[in-house]
Amino acid sequence: MSLSQKHSKEKFMPTNNITQELKVGDRFPLTIKRIGINGEGIGFFKHVIVFVPKAVPEDVIVCELTDVHERFLNGRIHKIRKASRFRNPDTPELANEVGGLEFAHINYKDQLHFKSNILRESLEKYKPYAHEKYMIKPTVGSVQQEKYRNKAQFPIQEIDGEIRCGLYKTGTQELVDLTEMPTQMDLTMSAMRKIVQMIKDLQIPVFNPENKSGILSMIVMRESVEFNQLQVTFITRSPKFIKEHQLIERIQKEIPEVSSISQNINKEDKAGVWGDETKLLWGDQYLQEDINGYLFNFSPRAFLQLNSLQTDKLYDLVAQALEPNQRDVLLDAYCGVGTIGITMADKVKQIYGIEIIPEAIEDAKANAKLNEVDNAEYYVGSADEIYPQLLKDGKTVNAVVVDPPRTGLDNKLIGALNRNPVNKLVYVSCNPSTLAKDLVTLTREYRVVYLQPVDMFPQTPHVETVVKLVRR
């Protein structure tokens, strides 16, 4: 069940037993009223809430039920009787095929408006202190709305004797063979198709989902905008990579932009895309990118914002919220490879970076050295443990930036920040729901000055938010 559905299930209770009379396949007219937390359209049928993907506020549709639950309904668009003024008339055909284009049917300026609404919906659900009075600034649009993604993970499979490589059909494990993707950079897509042809020519065994055979299961590609280079990682189901040398030779000859080729081993029984072991097969150990005039090295598994052109703007907004000065000792929690802290190094007295992944900390140290930053110290571990230890060791911290994953802040870190409050706290969120949930506890010690939504993912409902908080 989605967060939006859970929220609405609590808020909207049916006043009759209409859901008992309905069944999958039933159709009825529906007017879409608003956008849900996950980007789906929301309407009401006889006081029961209905979630409809790809529907937009002001659409008048014929809805066909796909799921019937006691307190809510799921449907799809059977027919659009009256199209909303927010609809994009040039929606790409792929939007109905693969993920990553959930908002492509909406005009871009309206996407920005709805992303602000998604943030408001999340705050209304969790109700952090004084949330009704929060200043939510207009969503900052992306420099580029298409061809902005610098990374892609392409599953590759043998299906009915044919090799397919692309993305999964929305909500399924059915692989769609892609030759183009509106949000993906051109170099990445062209290189992927060339590599797939090489794999076919060399008859490299590709994963077959029916009989669980084959070696190669995914091609991961990351592109440097600044240097026009590609980092390629092949994810295999065993250490053995048949014909890897022939494949590498062809890539070197036919795709000169590729600067690095690695192999990651993820055996069949391991969940997730990545396995624990990654080895460099050829080329540079890192892909290099420029962020606000600073150079950063990224290993294949290191985190980098997917929208390189918008990352400069995001970090500018983080700095505006923090208002760094030479008296500040900055804690960069969830620091990754050090990007946020290093871009502020010349504006603060000292930086303490914390990250639980050892390889990321090694990258952060190397990136600090690369940029001649000598006022940054890095620690491996969880921020909720290291932050109190730094204070116990006599170190003073008066400013904090947190940039957690979609799951939000660790509860123990929130506790540590509340027990040892700082003057300035900036929360960089990629998930409005977990942000709103975390603010419930954080606002016991901090006051929200403003929230600045930023569009890092055009054509999707995802919204990044920079939150400026100060000590009460």
- Residues carrying an active site annotation: 430
Spatial strand order in the sheet of 151-159: 175-177, 162-168, 151-159, 216-224, 229-236, 258-265, 277-283
How is 106-125 classified by DSSP, letter by letter?
Answer: B-HHHHHHHHHHHHHHHHHH
Q: Kind and range of the H or E element at 229?
A: strand 229-236
CB-based contact 411:385 (threshold 8 Å): no
Residue 386 corresponds to which tokens in the numbers above? 């290291």
Buried residues in 412-441 as b, exposed as e (16+ CB within 10 A)? ebbebbeeebbebbbbbbbbbbbbbbbbeb
Backbone angles phi, psi at 135, to 5 degrees: -85, 110
Indicate the SS3 state at residue 386. helix
The CA-atom distances, in angstroms, between 361 and each of 356, 367, 377 are 8, 10, 10
Q: What angle do CA 58, 430, 4 make, to 5 degrees?
A: 45
Residue with tokens 């298409």: 146
Which region holds residue 241: left if phi is over 0, alpha if psi is between -120 and 50, else beta? beta
